[in-house]
Amino acid sequence: MRLLSRRAKEKLIIAVLIALSGAAVIPLFWIIGSIVWNGVSVMSIEFLTSLPAPFGSSGGGIGNAIIGTLIINLFASGLGIPLGILTGIYLAEYAYDSKMGSAVRTIVESLSGVPSIVIGLFAFTLIVLTFRHYTGVAATLALGIMMIPLVAKATEESMRVVSNDLREAGMALGIPKYNITTRIVLSMAKGGVISGSLLAFARISGETAPLLFTALFSFYWPTGIDQPIATLQVLIYNYAISGFADWVAKAWGASLLLVLLVMTINVAVRTFGRKKCGGA
């Protein structure tokens, strides 16, 4: 009797757990479903490759915003990934248990907790107010700063898991520390560093707040990183609240592209990362 009731309890708990985890993934499918549902209809070569049509007329596309997001992300990566990797190397190999190391680690962790709009505000104050116009440079700075803690943490963690035996083997051969760090430890950790960098890239692809008052927006092709630049994120924001049916539809299309970009990177990193673990 008692055994049966225990078994029944067990089943009940499993049923509740399944139901609740099902409930947790519903929002994801709902969101993705509605984005695909609403976004697919506007997809066309024209949508992907043209400039927005003049206000009031239909047609046109979001080509400038696609390019803009890629440009800003690439420049931000050029800033954030190297700084993140260097910080990670410093934390893992040179200051792992020093006071300076834990200070840097705390600062980097705090940086990852700073709201993105605050980082945007910083870039706005530093660059937009100084040069007195909106510019992609400020957006690049804001997003690049946001990448640093993500890349640094991934680098530090993947370098720390490299066995200390290999560092000792290198030291015993008289190999200088910088070569042990770069040619042995970093080389072993590169899978984790690449994954971390890609995830950071995906992460900033969704950031909108820091772009609103830095890169702002533009209806034209980007002409320079020092000019206002259209991005998918800001386009979605502007178009979705515009109230024009044509723009709202385009906002859905842009959302679909953005979700595809982020999900592709995430899936790629997971498959690539798993293969890497299986091999080693």
Interface residues with another protein (CB under 8 A)?
Answer: 97, 163, 165-166, 168-176, 179-180, 183-184, 187-188, 280
Shortest distance (Å) from residue 109 CB to another protein: 23
- Of 41, 11, 9, 24, which Cα lies nearest the Cα of 255? 41
Question: Please, which residue, 77 or 181, has the CB nearer to another protein?
Answer: 181
Shortest distance (Å) from residue 180 CB to another protein: 8
Q: Would you say 159 and 220 are in contact if contact means Cβ atoms under 8 Å apart?
A: no
- Of 260, 256, 243, which Cα lies nearest the Cα of 38? 256
Question: Please, which residue, 184 or 240, has the CB nearer to another protein?
Answer: 184
Token pair belonging to 61: 């596309």
Residue 222: how many other CB atoms lie within 10 Å: 20
Shortest distance (Å) from residue 199 CB to another protein: 22
Question: Please, which residue, 142 or 189, has the CB nearer to another protein?
Answer: 189
Question: Please, which residue, 7 or 275, has the CB nearer to another protein?
Answer: 275
In whole angstroms, give the CA distance from residue 8 to residue 154: 44
Shortest distance (Å) from residue 163 CB to another protein: 7
Token pair belonging to 253: 């299309």
Token pair belonging to 240: 């979705």
Q: What are phi and psi of 52, to 5 degrees?
A: -55, 140
Question: What is the identity of the amino acid at 98?
Answer: S
Question: Please, which residue, 23 or 165, has the CB nearer to another protein?
Answer: 165
Shortest distance (Å) from residue 98 CB to another protein: 9
Shortest distance (Å) from residue 104 CB to another protein: 18
Q: Would you say 119 and 145 are in contact if contact means Cβ atoms under 8 Å apart?
A: yes
Question: Please, which residue, 82 or 191, has the CB nearer to another protein?
Answer: 191
Question: Please, which residue, 88 or 120, has the CB nearer to another protein?
Answer: 88
How many Cα neighbours within 13 Å face the side chain of 133?
A: 9
Shortest distance (Å) from residue 179 CB to another protein: 4
- Of 225, 185, 5, which Cα lies nearest the Cα of 89? 185
How many Cα neighbours within 13 Å face the side chain of 126?
A: 13
